[in-house]
Structure 1
Amino acid sequence: MEINRLNYKCTAQENWQGRTDGIDFSQQRWHQRIRCIDLQQEEIPISSSGETAFALIGFSSDEGVRRNGGRPGAVNGPAAFRKACANLPVHFNEETNVYDLGDIYCADGDLEKAQQELAKLVTSALQSGLIPLLIGGGHEIAYGHYCGINAAVNSKKSIGIINFDAHFDLREKGSTGFSSGTGFLQIANDCLQSGKTFNYLPVGIQRNGNTRALFLTAEKLGVAHIPAALFAAKSQDEVLEKIKAFIDSVDHVYLTICMDVFSAAFAPGVSAPAFTGIHPDHFFFSCLDFLIKSNKIISMDVAELNPVYDEADRTAKLTAAIAFQLLSAN
């Protein structure tokens, strides 16, 4: 694929460094299995039918966060993610391939161009048979990511978005332009223009993090949500029933996780910390497992990892644990 040099940087293989316990597959860690691809020199590898291959893609941007009045720093989220993941033990199948396709950058504050380049890369990865896992960067990653999925999917197939997030991100475009808070309204408007149904389920919504106007916007768009107050083990059956009903209503699921969905005690390194967010406990990871086993996830991202504010790398390590869960099911 053609890629804009201003918006792309490959990952050097030496960026994946870690402990080595041996070369036998049972002893290996992620840094020994991940292959970096320079898209200015190589084509995206093709995954044959029946094989499992993942594409790690960084989105080095916090321009949308800046426009939205949040704390900058998520631009370095992909680098912090790689560092946190390097020593993870390999628990995916030996036949599973994991490619690091590098980072898309937001150059000169041109967020829209960066999102377009991200969309192109996502489309190419999907068309090559890879399962994308994107790492942000601000939650402006969502609009570019969705556009890439939409371009790759048969127009007759429906795409459902499950967003673990403290916020709806259904804001109107402001004076500074589109931002990390407008992505899902942009998607809703695109769906309206193309005659598609807007299938969106936010999970972990906080009342103290969203204006009444945003709740009204969600209602107007027909968006049901699972509030943070409900997302607990005691309500497990009700939560899983709502998620299952949503999954059953769509052909593909785009899973996006904004790290500010979690309590700041567990994820301090985010652009907009939530003191009363959900806990990354057994119930949360069982929900992830439930989603994976549906076999409907077409692409995934984790957004707003902000290493500037990440005490003891807690947020980066949590992001790595989420990635481990997503990849180790295969």
Structure 2
Amino acid sequence: MIDSLFYQKTSAETWTGRNDGTDLAVQRWHQRVILVDLLHGVIPLLSPGQKGIALIGFSCDEGVRRNGGRVGAKDGPAHFRKACCNLPVHFDEDAVFLDLGDVVCMGQDMEGAQRSLSEVVSFALANGYRPLVIGGGHEVAYGHYTGINDYLKKPDSLGIINFDAHFDLREPNEHGTNSGTGFFQIAEDCKASGKPFSYLPVGIQLNSNTKHLFDTAAGLGVKHIHAEGFMAANQEVIKHQLEEFIAGSSHIYLTICMDVFSSSFAPGVSAAAFSGLIPDAFFFSCLKSVMAGGKVISMDIAECNPVFDQDQRTAKLAAALAFSMIT
């Protein structure tokens, strides 16, 4: 299914942590995760109605390098797993939590890594699992989207909610595609196939996007939510925008770029900013509203860069996001 050149299974030593016993009430993630080697193993079959989560690492930041950002996010999946080991289990007793290993970028072959990620995502969905992909640069978005799109039946429509400081609607340059072109590529694919491009960026910062990018978004019919207005005082308006967007699609692909947050909360990213969203109760209530809609088919967290992290703040925030998303 996946080219062995672009794959690495997760080591059993990765998932270790505190053990308070085997009873469900005291279990932690490291006690529930099931490691699957996609080259030699078999994915557990789910019973009708049984929930399954498939963790997939995307060990790639070639797109960040091409985009002139700070590299290091390729080690994000390992950083993330370490932060998740001791999270308490609050999901269903019969839920199946898999770790399918990492899609790895070989050299500068970002496109090969994206194709491999697409295959793994589509495979997980076909087996009834909801993928949770951990990057890696935000070039993860194009490979992830392609996998979801390959899985979906023709009448189904897919909306994308992207918590991000950037539109990532750049056109490919002389170096090709990169971490900032993902949603432009998706828009082009939608145009070629006659599908609507349904995209809602949340947390957009005026000082992080050129006027050209705002014009590109407007030309594509993309509405967005500014970072400056993302606050509890505007709660009703923002939640209405999210609910209205979700209602317009059969399924939702949810992606979170860690640079959407203020650098005081997420210093370990490829493009840090002094300002940004605050991961407070309001933010998590919005995230839970998106999940509660019941339409999220797949999720990812991008730009977790351990090279620039401090006291594991970024990794722990990414873990908290994942905890909220799957719980």
Q: Identify whether the pair has TM-score above 0.5, normalized to the shorter chain.
A: yes
Q: Is the 8 A contact 1:81 1:319 kept in 2?
A: yes
Distance apart, 1:13 and its partner CA: 1.9
Does residue 283 in structure 1 map to residue 282 in structure 2? Answer: yes
Partner of 1:100: 99
Asked if residue 323 in structure 1 is aligned to residue 322 in structure 2, the reply is yes
**Amino acid of the residue matched to residue 305 of structure 2?**
N
Q: How far 1:43 sits from its partner (Å)?
A: 2.7
Does 2:109 correspond to 1:110?
yes
Letter in 1 for 2:237: E
> Residue 121 of structure 1 corresponds to which residue in structure 2?
120
8 A Cα contact 1:7 1:114, kept in partner: yes
Q: What stretches of structure 1 of length at least 5 have no aligned partner?
A: none
**Does 1:173 find its partner at 2:176?**
no
Output aligned runs, 1:174-189, within 5 Å. Answer: 174-189=173-188
Residue 56 of structure 2 aligns to a residue in which SS? strand
Could you say which residue in structure 2 is the equivalent of 1:4?
3
Matches within 5 A, 1:1-330: 2-328=1-327
Counterparts of 1:296 and 1:106, CA distance in 2: 30
**Which amino acid in the other structure matches residue 239 of structure 2?**
L
% identical equivalent positions: 58
Q: Take 2:93 and 2:4, find their aligned partners in 1: how far apart are those partners?
A: 33
- Residue type at the aligned position of 1:242: Q
C-alpha deviations, 1:223-256, integer Å up to 9, x for none?
A: 0000001110110000001001000010000000
How far 1:191 moved relative to its partner? 0.1
Deviation at 1:46? 2.6
Query: 1:90: how far off?
Result: 0.7
Q: Secondary structure at the match of 1:189?
A: helix
- How many pairs align? 327
Q: Is the contact between residue 68 and residue 181 of structure 1 (CA under 8 Å) also seen in structure 2?
A: yes
CA distance in 2, matches of 1:46, 1:158: 27
Alignment gaps of 5+ in structure 2: none
Report the TM-score, using the length of structure 1 for normalisation. 0.98
Tell me how far apart the structure 2 counterparts of residues 47 and 273 of structure 1 sit (CA, whole Å).
Answer: 40
